[in-house]
Structure 1
């Protein structure tokens, strides 16, 4: 059975990733590599965000995922775009025999892609993107693979939700695509709370906001306190070791 995200080792790796802070592009870049590694059949992974009527790849494991995504954008059709537009999981068992989304399947096969799995990213009730896994062999993605990939799509959705919630610009989606940067301290604190409280990104952000209102302290300062407490806890554990 494919390893699931809720194993102890995966939790530790995700905690380290979330606690590293930094910008959203780096987070999503690490996330697609981890997603591809956790789905053994996948050789490449890309993450698409909607832009205008099509999509744009904001993170990928390399040229194969990037090119497979871009050939769908050029044709304005494909499993990635269908998943993004409909909010449904789309699986392709064999590009060589697939008759949907012409001419994309033939173009994907030219790249060496034989099967794919796309999962929607629904942010604040809107179809906002898709996580796309690609394989060079036909019929390799199982139900277990789909469940594992869904966990990673949920993590991407959480990160995007937080970035939207703390963005200053009204043009929030364009801000994400153009800069893809969050306020590092707030993003880091949300990640830590998600791991510690086993909660969603929305709930973690609400915990920070409620604490800010009750203490009459800026949200950033509350977040800094969460991060500092975590770092001090790590330092104490290292001393004991």
Structure 2
């Protein structure tokens, strides 16, 4: 058992919970929110955690364990200074032992002290060797909250979180691609129905029917799918039905009667 001691939750339990999130959280945002809550529980009393990433070249907080963490994060973005911004930009671990006396980033120090930050720890989150985010832990109770033991716990957790984040992003990307494929095949199905109708009406080939469909689409500034849906609906008297041409296959159950 790792770091089984009085301070913070057992690290083994926390690391196991990270990977369980991949099974329980269907969306990446939900996964990251729960991840932030787990990270906050690394120390006792729990810290606040914000996860920063870069969007359109600018840092932003994607999730946080509570509003205070997000507020501390946000105060660093306008000026481009502060521990979480530095960790995101450099891939370095940044510890602030005593926020009131730390000489770095004077503007941020004023902001953080006003919000009650006493100490903090920012750790990079890397995916395939690239820094894609920073996990920021803020303690509002005492200076030096992230001693050697707690820092080691946080660094171990960040490594596991980065691995889990890689898998979560891959799942999201695969789901997006699957959705795009399903949409494309559904569109193709409706267009094929319209082509068949035109072939019968105009007594033409499939290529000629598709050319007629495309010409009407361009001349009327309509999507090809819209034109096809209207043709099918006009002939059938009901909205176009999208054929189930693509399905996710599951392992078939064994039929004892076979």
| Both proteins in one fold, TM over 0.5 | yes
Find the residue that maps to 2:109 and give its secondary structure.
helix
| CA deviation profile, 1:93-148 (whole Å, cap 9, x unmatched) | 11111111120011100000111000001222222110000011211111111121
Q: How does 1:129-168 map to 2 (within 5 A)?
A: 129-136=133-140, 137-165=142-170
Tell me how far apart the structure 1 counterparts of residues 35 and 20 of structure 2 sit (CA, whole Å): 12
TM-score (normalised: structure 1):
0.64
**Matches for 1:17-166 after TM superposition, within 5 Å:** 17-136=21-140, 137-165=142-170
Listed as ranges, the gaps of 5+ residues in structure 1 are 169-181, 187-219, 229-241
The 1:56/1:24 distance shift into structure 2, 3 A limit, reads same
* C-alpha distance in structure 2 between counterparts of 1:132 and 1:18, whole Å: 21
Unaligned runs of at least 5 residues, structure 2: 179-247, 253-258
Q: Contact 1:48 / 1:129 at 8 angstroms: preserved in 2?
A: yes
Larger radius of gyration: 2
Q: Distance in 2 between matches of 1:10 and 1:161?
A: 18
Q: Which has the higher helix share?
A: 1
* Structure 1 residues 134 and 3: CA distance shift in structure 2, 3 A: closer
Query: How much is the aligned-residue C-alpha RMSD, in angstroms?
Result: 3.0
Over 3 Å counting, the alpha-carbon distance change for 1:17 and 1:164 in structure 2 is: closer
* 1-structure distance, mates of 2:18, 2:128: 23
TM-score of the pair, normalised by structure 2: 0.60
SS state of the match for residue 122, structure 1?
strand
Greater mean alpha carbon deviation, residues 9-18 or residues 71-80: 9-18
1:183 and 2:175 equivalent? Answer: yes
Aligned residues: 178
Higher relative contact order (CA 8 A, sep 6+): 1
Displaced runs of 4 or more, over 3 A? 1-6, 9-16, 163-168
Query: Closer, same or farther in 2 for the Cα pair 1:143/1:56, shift >3 Å?
Result: same
